[in-house]
Amino acid sequence: MPFNLSRTALGLWRARKWNYSTKELENLISRVIDVGITTFDHADIYGDYECEVLFGEVLKSNSGLRTQMKIVTKCGIKIKSSKFSERIIGHYDTSKEHIISSVDKSLVNLNTDFIDLLLIHRPDPLMNADEVAEAFTELKSSGKVLDFGVSNFLPHHFDLLQSRLSFPLVTNQIEVSVLHHEHFDNGNIDFLQEKKISPMVWSPFAGGRLFNDGGEQAQRTKSMLSELQNKYGAAGIESIATAWLFIHPVNFIVVLGSVNIDRIKMALDGMNIKLTKEDWFRIWVASRGQNVP
């Protein structure tokens, strides 16, 4: 994996909703590290700006955990929040000033001296690529951030920012799952494979739709996953859903949002399942509802 990220990450976007005490969150972090997940994915805005703080309380309580993990965070979105009552609407801000101030705030919130990987959270139609590059270069030179990437960018967004940097963007975090194929269709996955860049994947279970959506697409796909679960002796359909991702040559890094250790282990088990090409396409066809041409 690039820059030593684990092949699977734990996403902290719901950490506030878990209602864990600092000790309970520390126990969860320790358990996922024990099963091989050492990458933790954040954003400044998660949990109305509170999830980084919750994580930072754990690192304040147990500083030794920091040496066992890679921290990813994002910036560039300003949400409408009671903390910023002057904001009329949520919007994007990729100015140099905002990027640097966001990082400084994340460092305080996370109780860490550096961030392993910083991502621009969303493409900003007002992005000044030269200004973003200045911010990235300053943050890298100061040691506050080690590596940089983007999130939800398309190839032309990625190329624009990369053209202003003297060092490589190392990832693009995008939504991909057995139910969500957008980035296969828009050329993004091919682009990233061409660049030898491993994308991070959010919502690998389609935000829970794989388990609780009664729609035709989800039901067709879930039925196929269940059939293949039996064929491969997998622990659950989660294993087949992640196997479908792990087998792809672009080398997806899968970001999980679950706190259920059994579900996490089933997802990790997908790394040990080598789907045949035909079975991979059986899932593709079930999801799309039509055969390949």
Asked if pLDDT for residue 55 goes beyond 90, the answer is yes
Percent over 90 (pLDDT), the chain: 97
User: Does 92 participate in catalysis according to the annotation?
Assistant: no
Q: Which of 46, 49, 92, 232 is catalytic?
A: 46
Span 187-192, mean pLDDT? 98
Q: Which of 128, 69, 144 is nearest to 93 (CA)?
A: 128
The rounded distance, in Å, linking the Cα atoms of 52 and 44 is 7
Cα 141 to Cα 4, 69, 82, 167, 233, distances in angstroms: 20, 22, 34, 12, 49
pLDDT on residue 4: 84
Residue type present at position 11? G
CATH entry 3.30.390.50 includes domain 2-170? no
What's the chain's average pLDDT? 97
Q: How far separated are the first and last CA of the chain, in Å rounded?
A: 34
**Residue 268 clears pLDDT 70, i.e. is over it:** yes
- Each domain of the chain, given as residue ranges in start order, spans 2-170
Q: Residue 267: beta bridge partners?
A: none
Q: What is the pTM (predicted TM-score) of this model?
A: 0.97
For residue 1, what pLDDT is reported? 44
Measured CA to CA, the distance from residue 182 to residue 255 in angstroms comes to 17
* DSSP bridge pairs for 8: 254
- Model pLDDT, residue 77: 98
Structure confidence by residue, pLDDT tens digits, 106-126: 999 999 999 999 999 999 999
Share of the chain above pLDDT 70, in %: 99
Mean pLDDT over residues 53-81, rounded?
A: 97
Instruction: Report the C-alpha gap between 153 and 46 in whole angstroms.
Output: 19
pLDDT band at residue 83 using 50, 70 and 90 as cut-offs: confident
Average pLDDT (218-239) is: 98
Residue among 69, 160, 78, 81 nearest 110 (CA):
69
160 exposure class (CB count in 10 Å sphere: 0-12, 13-18, 19+): middle
Band the pLDDT of 3: cuts 50, 70, 90: low
| pLDDT grade for 56, boundaries at 50, 70 and 90 | very high
CA-based R_g, the chain, Å: 19
Q: Are the CB atoms for 45 and 83 separated by under 8 Å?
A: no
pLDDT for the residue 82? 83
pLDDT at 85: 83
Task: Please tell me the distance from the alpha carbon of residue 195 to that of residue 207, in angstroms, as a whole number.
Answer: 28
